[in-house]
Amino acid sequence: MNSAEAFIHLAGVTKAYRRGRQQHPAISDASFDVQPGELVALVGPSGCGKSTLLKILAGLHSHDAGEVRIGSASHPFDPRRDIGMVFQAPLLLKWRRVLDNVLLPAELLGLPMAAARSRARDLLALVGLAGYEDKYPYELSGGMQQRAAIARALVHDPKLVLMDEPFGALDALTREKMNLELLRIWKESGKTIMFVTHGISEAVFLGSRVVVFTAGPARMADNFVIDLPHPRTLDMKTHEQFGLYTRRIYKLLGME
């Protein structure tokens, strides 16, 4: 599939922030395509511009140069309607019950609420929270709160889900469990997902493809397919091919 048919097309994208009279480059020449239904992991050191790139895709930041295209003339893309976002913190409203938190994007977009409520319940079941609809966020563990945040990101049926280090605040065991859950949700929902992480092993485990960025300003150092079978299991992390992928990234980041 060529770039004209790609769901997301980035070519020579640059971005710099101005602080006083100084320009601070954040992204330098980001160029890659994302096909519909891919889970693309963006990996690189903290502060290298990965989150800035997500904000550009979400329409929250402009870019200074290059081309950013999402969708096509036959399938136009509306960032307000077609993007779901998951952040490192769940950002659930503590005074709203879980179901009402999930329904928030549908309310903001003015969607028919009867259908949205039914979809929200289905999504809570999908993420393993059936029976928790009437709980408040403080009654959930950190991992459960992040599951609710994923359901919220999907409730308005977006075309693209942007995830900015969503499991970074979780303990190691919960994080691995959430990785497995995310892969299951991705397969069942069929969504296109862009997943930002600074975890090399996490990027290889989750990604159908990995885009590697070097230290800021973000410059794409590599972009390759992860040829590991699905469903993925944790014991794959001990396989030789998994090790080859991780070492490839370590080398690109100057860590080997």
Cβ within 8 Å of residue 10, ≥6 positions away: 30, 31, 32, 33, 66, 67, 68, 69
List the chain domain ranges.
Answer: 35-63+72-77+159-256, 90-158
> What is the pLDDT averaged over residues 212-231?
87
Q: How confident is the model at residue 111 (pLDDT cuts 50, 70, 90)?
A: very high
Task: Identify the CA nearest to 87 among candidates 146, 39, 42, 127.
Answer: 146
**Neighbouring-strand partners of residue 193:** 39, 161
Question: What is the reported pLDDT for 72?
Answer: 76
Is the confidence at residue 40, as pLDDT, over 80? yes
Cβ within 8 Å of residue 138, ≥6 positions away: 94
CATH homologous superfamily for the domain 35-63+72-77+159-256? P-loop containing nucleotide triphosphate hydrolases (3.40.50.300)
Question: What is the reported pLDDT for 3?
Answer: 56
CA distance 190 to 162: 14
Mean confidence (pLDDT) of the chain: 91
> What is the pLDDT averaged over residues 230-236?
93
Cβ within 8 Å of residue 147, ≥6 positions away: 127, 128, 129, 178, 181
Question: What is the reported pLDDT for 1?
Answer: 43
> What is the pLDDT averaged over residues 17-28?
82
70-110 per-position pLDDT tens digit: 987 677 888 888 999 999 999 999 999 999 999 999 999 99
CA distance 106 to 103: 5
Q: How confident is the model at residue 248 (pLDDT cuts 50, 70, 90)?
A: very high
> What is the pLDDT averaged over residues 19-48?
88
Percent of the chain predicted with pLDDT > 90? 74
> What is the pLDDT averaged over residues 3-25?
84
pTM (predicted TM-score) = 0.93
- What is the CB neighbour count within 10 angstroms for residue 99? 19
Q: Among the listed ranges 162-166, 191-195, 216-220, 240-244, which one has the minimum average pLDDT value?
A: 216-220
> What is the pLDDT averaged over residues 237-249?
96
183-221 per-position pLDDT tens digit: 999 999 999 999 999 999 999 999 999 999 987 667 888
